[in-house]
Amino acid sequence: MKILKMAKENLDLFVSVLPAFGEVYAPLKRGKGYVFDRPSRWSDVQLKYSRTMLPPKKLMLPPREMTFAFDPEKGYQDSLTEASKPMVLFGVHAYDIYGLNILDRVFAQAKYPDPYYIARRKATTIIGIDFEPDEKHCASSMNADFVDHGFDLFLSDIGDEYLVLVGTSRGDDILIMSNCLMHTPTEADIEEYKKRSKSRRDSYKVHLALEDLPEILEMEYHSKVWDEFGKGCLSCGSCSMVCPTCYCFDVYDEVDLGSRKGQRIRQWDSCLLRTHALVAGGENFRHARSSRVKFRFYHKQRGFVAEYGRPSCIGCGRCVDVCPAEINIISVIQSIRGERDVKPSNSSASS
């Protein structure tokens, strides 16, 4: 892997060459949180951010998208051209890149490749940046605090400079264009990188044991813990909306009244919502809230391990951030392991 370095004071100039590779999205402050959006000036870009409210998933798999329009006269018109518009995602944390790598397995490498996702992913340049974990991150427990692929360039803070790791030939093209800003790192720079890498690993406040978790989940399938979480869950679906690796979606047609024209829409869905497992005839396979909470965690921590060899959680802490009932990856794993009591913040009916 090619590695160079760049002075931090030149980062604004570096970002100025990125429009050559697509529309630039970067972490910006929005209210009390952060979002990936298009900066209108360099000072809007936040390099020291905890996590964005929505993960980069929103740009690869938009919350609501038209996949194609249909018309008896014009036939089908898909939205692949729009999806192929070049984009640069600047300042993505390692766990979010890991999240995209997981989505790749589902949408690009699985049995039924998704052309819309693949078009966006191919047209997107990813530039990663390292981060300091806070009390909600558990990316190291999920082995997602470091990535070795899935990015074009990755910037690692070594003081007054960034080490720039090149991940792809497109990343190399960016460096050729900004060649005047790049220098060869010294041995001292590499030492500094290693020192900071260890310090970041040591600074995680949350440590979760995953080793035998699939087996423990198997043993605890009928545990009362799920009922307790079911009492607390509001079925709002916030956890799956902000999750970088939740990818359930619904598909429906919007037909123009009085004609045979219309659009096929794909929209995010959530297994926490009551209608997720509702089928024709009124049968609901996961009517109880407890079963929906359980389903989500079994899919992430057990089903995904069986299918892809690793859990799909990447430890970003977004579910910790948003769940009003404090049901999140940390509280669930610790409770199912018997390391803490379940404390539902809400208890009412069970559906």
Partner 1 sequence: MVKTMNEPKAVLIIDDDSDFVRAIRTLLEASGFKVRSAPNGRDGLQLARTSQPDLILLDVMMTERTEGFFVLQEIRRIPELSKTPVIILSSIYSDEPTFRVDPDAGWLPANLFLAKPVDPTRLLTEVTRLMNESALVKSSSEAVRR
In whole angstroms, what is the distance from residue 273 CA to residue 276 CA?
Answer: 6
In whole angstroms, what is the distance from residue 149 CA to residue 151 CA?
Answer: 6
* Tokens found for residue 177: 């264009």
- CB closer to partner 1, 10 vs 84: 10
* Tokens found for residue 158: 């070594």
- CB closer to partner 1, 20 vs 188: 20
- Least separation, in Å, of the C-beta of 179 and partner 1? 10
* Tokens found for residue 233: 């869950």
Residues composing the chain? 351
- Least separation, in Å, of the C-beta of 180 and partner 1? 6
- CB closer to partner 1, 13 vs 69: 13
- Least separation, in Å, of the C-beta of 242 and partner 1? 27
- CB closer to partner 1, 25 vs 268: 25
In whole angstroms, what is the distance from residue 145 CA to residue 95 CA?
Answer: 5
- CB closer to partner 1, 181 vs 314: 181
- CB closer to partner 1, 15 vs 155: 15
- CB closer to partner 1, 178 vs 270: 178
In whole angstroms, what is the distance from residue 84 CA to residue 82 CA?
Answer: 5
Collapsing DSSP to helix, strand or coil, 195 comes out as helix
- Least separation, in Å, of the C-beta of 161 and partner 1? 13
Residue where the block lists tokens 């600074």: 203
Q: Please check whether residue 254 is in contact with residue 240, taking contact to mean a CB–CB distance below 8 angstroms.
A: no
- Least separation, in Å, of the C-beta of 67 and partner 1? 24
- Least separation, in Å, of the C-beta of 14 and partner 1? 9
- Least separation, in Å, of the C-beta of 170 and partner 1? 14
Q: Please check whether residue 89 is in contact with residue 59, taking contact to mean a CB–CB distance below 8 angstroms.
A: yes
Q: Which regions of the chain does DSSP assign to beta strands (E)?
A: 3-7, 23-30, 33-37, 64-71, 75-78, 87-92, 124-129, 153-157, 161-166, 182-183, 249-255, 262-268
Residue among 128, 112, 192 at smallest CA distance from 159: 192
Q: Which residues bind partner 1 (CB under 8 A)?
A: 7, 10, 12-13, 15-17, 19-20, 23-24, 38-43, 177, 180-181
- CB closer to partner 1, 129 vs 216: 129
Residue among 9, 56, 28, 10 at smallest CA distance from 175: 10
- Least separation, in Å, of the C-beta of 160 and partner 1? 14
